[in-house]
Amino acid sequence: MTLLRNAVFAAFSILLMALPAQAQSSAEDLVRRMAAEVTSEVRKNPALVNSQTQLAALVERRLMPRFDFDRITQLAMGRNWPKASGAEQRQVVAEFSKLLVRTYSNALASLKDLDVEVRDSRKNGNDVTVRTQMIGRPKPVAIDYSLSNAGGGWHVYDVTVEGVSLVTAYRDEFNTLVSSSGVTGLIAALKQKNGK
């Protein structure tokens, strides 16, 4: 699972770091352009890869505006979302967002050796799944990006690596935590991870 998550985070980072504000272009063109921009930026600036502070700042600036943390958290919590109060929901979103941003920052170092090749896309209403391959390793890794365009531009809400959804992987973990210690236990566990 750790290798899967590392691949997801590296791939997510390639996609999300340089999302432009325009929503006019297709999701496929957007993914292709961003993959090129981000890998170029990481390769041109080796000091960036070695600075956790610079990486975190880059993620905060480029990723957060194009990342649908509310939807990702709601999907990851699944049936447990309505069990949380409004205040608890906001806490889970905040802590889960911190965890994902920190993890993406840590994964950026590997981007200097990887590229993303866009294969095709499938549209379903306002949602688009862009199918890509991460290349630069002995075996390409198939990655599907789920994006939605609800009027404010494209926002990513899930990534599926080799058939395994990031949201689904976290849902299993969240369900276990909520079942054993409630929503407050989930929040405490996320805070603990973020404190490391």
Amino acid (1-letter code) at residue 56 = A
Query: How many residues make up the chain in this entry?
Result: 196
Q: In whole angstroms, what is the distance from residue 3 CA to residue 168 CA?
A: 16
Pull the structure tokens for residue 84. 């949380």
> Taking 50 as the threshold, does the pLDDT of residue 81 lie above it?
yes
Residue-averaged pLDDT of the chain: 81
Closest CA to 167 of 159, 179, 175: 159
Q: Which of 40-49, 91-100, 103-112, 117-126 is the least confident region?
A: 103-112
Pull the structure tokens for residue 10. 């590296």
Predicted local confidence at residue 126, as pLDDT: 84
Q: CA distances (Å), 117 to each of 31, 35, 193, in order?
A: 9, 8, 33
> Taking 70 as the threshold, does the pLDDT of residue 48 lie above it?
yes
Q: Hey, what's the torsion of the CAs at 6, 41, 117, 119, to 10 degrees?
A: 100
136: DSSP letter: S
Predicted local confidence at residue 18, as pLDDT: 42
Q: Which residue has the higher pLDDT, 114 or 80?
A: 80
> Taking 60 as the threshold, does the pLDDT of residue 128 lie above it?
yes
Domains located in the chain, CATH noted:
2-195 (3.10.450.710)
Q: Which residue has the higher pLDDT, 192 or 153?
A: 192
Predicted local confidence at residue 63, as pLDDT: 66
The CB density around residue 101, as the number of other CB atoms within 10 Å, is: 19
Q: Which residue has the higher pLDDT, 174 or 107?
A: 174
Predicted local confidence at residue 112, as pLDDT: 67
Pull the structure tokens for residue 23. 């929503």
Cα diameter, the chain: 47
Once rounded to an integer, what is the mean pLDDT over residues 19-32? 60
- Taking the whole predicted model, whether its pTM rises above 0.85 is answered as no
Share of the chain above pLDDT 90, in %: 36
Predicted local confidence at residue 20, as pLDDT: 39
Predicted local confidence at residue 173, as pLDDT: 94
> Taking 80 as the threshold, does the pLDDT of residue 103 lie above it?
no
DSSP string, 4-21: HHHHHHHHHHHHHTT--S
Predicted local confidence at residue 181, as pLDDT: 96
